[in-house]
Amino acid sequence: MDEAALRCGREAGSVVLLPVSKTFGEQAIREAVAAGERRFGENKAQEIREKFEPLSDCGIDWVMIGHLQTNKAKDIARMASEVQSLDRKDLAIALDRRLQQEGRAIDALVQVKTSSEPTKYGMDPAEVADFLRFLARDISTIRVRGLMTLAINESNDAAVRSCFRQLRELRDRLRDETIDGVSLDRLSMGMSGDFEIAIEEGSTEVRIGTAIFGARNYGSDYYWPENTKSGAKDAGDAE
């Protein structure tokens, strides 16, 4: 990360690392905590719920980075310190209601769709300005801090770079509109395979799973088992 930053005239240490612990169990996360990490990204509400209690002594800030169904808003309102996958109005409304019940507020990044891949979640870039105005006006429990994206999943560096550049340029345009109560300082972009390109394009935060924890046992559609608690805890440590 530092090498990538220095290469493009940014300072070493200027990009934040968000370790992504999805599918990895308690032991792997405790090792990362011992190495100094305190924030962890997860892409399923169910998985945060599974890890929350067993790791409650670690003082972890859980960051939701995956697609979030409105019926899981309650768990996130209770357990997450941040949501990076805020991508629609009904989710913001559901989160706000639950956050008010919990007496909490959370930081959020708006997830933007920058690739044409049909499977990618995220808001259409053209809708983001209106969404930010809606959040600033009607939602008191969600503090917008920036934008998040996933680049297109292919080996063509130019296509990947273009996704990251789109996000930065969108952020720069939105900043000119100065929406009260909305900060757009953070750009969460870059994963194990493309973080260097993301840093060159202005990422302030990279979300890294595989390069820290190793290959995952499960595909991206892996569904955290509802009923097998010990199985859930050991998943990912088993390899």
Ligand X SMILES: *Cc1c(COP(=O)(O)O)cnc(C)c1O
What residues line the site for ligand X (CB under 6 A)?
20, 22, 43, 65-66, 150, 191-193, 207-211
Residue closer to ligand X by CB (options 175, 211) is 211
As given in the structure block, the two tokens for residue 92 are 């913001």
**DSSP 8-state symbol, 21:** -
Minimal distance, residue 48 CB to ligand X, in Å: 13
Three-state DSSP class for residue 96 = helix
Minimal distance, residue 179 CB to ligand X, in Å: 25
For residues 140 and 125, give the distance between their C-alpha atoms in angstroms, rounded to a whole number: 23
Three-state DSSP class for residue 159 = helix
Residue closer to ligand X by CB (options 67, 233) is 67
Residue closer to ligand X by CB (options 181, 214) is 214
C-beta of residue 217 within 8 angstroms of C-beta of residue 235: yes
Minimal distance, residue 42 CB to ligand X, in Å: 9
Minimal distance, residue 176 CB to ligand X, in Å: 28
C-beta of residue 122 within 8 angstroms of C-beta of residue 163: no
Minimal distance, residue 138 CB to ligand X, in Å: 26
- CA torsion, points 223, 227, 233, 237, in degrees to nearest 10? -60
Minimal distance, residue 22 CB to ligand X, in Å: 5
Residue closer to ligand X by CB (options 122, 202) is 122
Residue nearest to ligand X (CB): 209
Q: How far is CA 60 from the centre of its chain?
A: 15
As given in the structure block, the two tokens for residue 76 are 């996130």
Residue closer to ligand X by CB (options 6, 211) is 211
For residues 82 and 106, give the distance between their C-alpha atoms in angstroms, rounded to a whole number: 5
Residue closer to ligand X by CB (options 61, 177) is 61
**DSSP 8-state symbol, 10:** P
